[in-house]
Amino acid sequence: MTNLRKVTHGPFAASLSTDQANDSLVWSLAVKCTAPPEQLRLRCLHDAGFARPIEELKSEEIVLWLAKVAPPGDGPDTLRVEQAMQVLDAKETDRMARFLHIEDRMGYLAAHAGARLLLGAIAGRAADGLRFEQSALGKPVLVDAPAELDFSLSHARGAVAVAAAHMPIGVDIEPLRHISDMDAMSEIALAAEERRELAKAPATLRPRLFLRYWTLKEAILKAAGVGFTIPPDTLIVDAGSSPSVLAVPAALGSTAQWRVIASAT
Ligand SMILES: CC(C)(COP(=O)(O)OP(=O)(O)OC[C@H]1O[C@@H](n2cnc3c(N)ncnc32)[C@H](O)[C@@H]1OP(=O)(O)O)[C@@H](O)C(=O)NCCC(=O)NCCS
């Protein structure tokens, strides 16, 4: 049994800058818009600033919160369990409690509390008063959101990402790791030309490149609100140092509307 005191008190999540995240994480963001890519601005929240009112979010701006997460203790200290638990609603608290592993529970807590604090700060509303609905395909939607405000969250063991913008947005984060079934996963998730690029990469760089493909595709599918109901190998992306979207199925609109940003190669 997990010690109850341990899961209800103490710091458990710490903000990361994009540079700090590069060593151990791969993350991607996707937005659907008509603004030229060079006009998009990424504002990475590198302290607990997301808990205070956020300076007006401009139409071409994306706010991103990256954090590492650990079981509560003396470690990461941007968010404390008791502060995060206070903003969840009963449904979220119930879902959180159903995760068997404390790492997964803390990831869920950080992502959902982080999303509430971030959206509350953008919208000028109390984080615990926000209400969410789910689209038919599972995309969470803020009820009574200010015009066009969208958000996305991702929780992996040990890390979370939350992003928001005044346009459809998706974010995905994965720990950088050895992937034992990378070939089998590539067959399912990557298009033929992407698999060729992956095969050309030096073996030591392949896990990072694979995870770039993976997170770029998931971010696009989340921004579109469709998740894996669209097979990821039907999207084609350039996962190089300036990532871009090369092709999307008609259900996702025009390829020219998609912009992506990712962690360093
Ligand atoms: C969305 C999805 C791609 C993300 O999966 P993942 O990598 O395992 O997990 P992540 O932590 O990165 O993201 C999960 C979050 O994505 C969001 N999400 C779920 N479905 C989504 C969708 N259709 N569009 C956008 N975001 C979605 C949720 O916030 C979810 O977090 P939560 O479950 O804690 O609320 C995947 O869960 C998926 O496709 N699910 C299937 C959806 C589906 O087929 N639904 C059919 C219903 S008929």
Which segment of 63-77, 138-152, 169-183 scores lowest on mean pLDDT?
63-77
Taking the centre of ligand 1 as the mean of its atom positions, its distance from the CA of residue 96, in whole angstroms, is: 15
The residue-averaged pLDDT of 86-115 equals 96
Using CA atoms, how far apart are residues 187 and 152, in angstroms rounded to an integer?
27
* Domains of the chain, residue spans: 4-174, 177-260
Taking the centre of ligand 1 as the mean of its atom positions, its distance from the CA of residue 137, in whole angstroms, is: 8
Taking the centre of ligand 1 as the mean of its atom positions, its distance from the CA of residue 12, in whole angstroms, is: 23
Nearest CA to ligand 1 atom 34: 108
> Which pLDDT does position 231 carry in this prediction?
97
- 197, pLDDT greater than 80: yes
With a Cβ cut-off of 6 Å, ligand 1 is lined by 108, 137-140, 152-155, 172, 218, 221-222, 225-229
> Which pLDDT does position 213 carry in this prediction?
98
Beta bridge partners of 151: 164
Ligand 1, pocket-test mutation among 228, 230, 252, most atoms within 8 A of CB: 228
Q: 61-69 and 41-44 as β-strands: parallel, antiparallel, unpaired?
A: parallel
- Which of 53-62, 76-85, 138-147 has the largest mean confidence? 138-147
Exposure on the CB side of residue 264, measured as CA atoms within 13 A: 8
Query: In degrees, to the nearest 5, what angle opens at C-alpha 16 toward C-alphas 13 and 22?
Result: 125
- 205, pLDDT greater than 70: yes
**Is CATH 3.90.470.20 correct for 4-174?**
yes
Per-residue confidence at 116, pLDDT binned at 50, 70, 90?
Answer: very high
Per-residue confidence at 48, pLDDT binned at 50, 70, 90?
Answer: low
- Which atom, in ligand 1's list, is nearest to the CA of 222? 25
Using CA atoms, how far apart are residues 195 and 214, in angstroms rounded to an integer?
12
Ligand 1, pocket-test mutation among 98, 153, 213, most atoms within 8 A of CB: 153
Nearest CA to ligand 1 atom 38: 227
User: Where does residue 112 rank: exposed (0-12), middle (13-18), buried (19+ CB within 10 A)?
Assistant: buried
| Residues of the chain above pLDDT 90, percent | 86
The residue-averaged pLDDT of 36-43 equals 94
Taking the centre of ligand 1 as the mean of its atom positions, its distance from the CA of residue 5, in whole angstroms, is: 30
Taking the centre of ligand 1 as the mean of its atom positions, its distance from the CA of residue 227, in whole angstroms, is: 6
Taking the centre of ligand 1 as the mean of its atom positions, its distance from the CA of residue 29, in whole angstroms, is: 15
Nearest CA to ligand 1 atom 4: 227
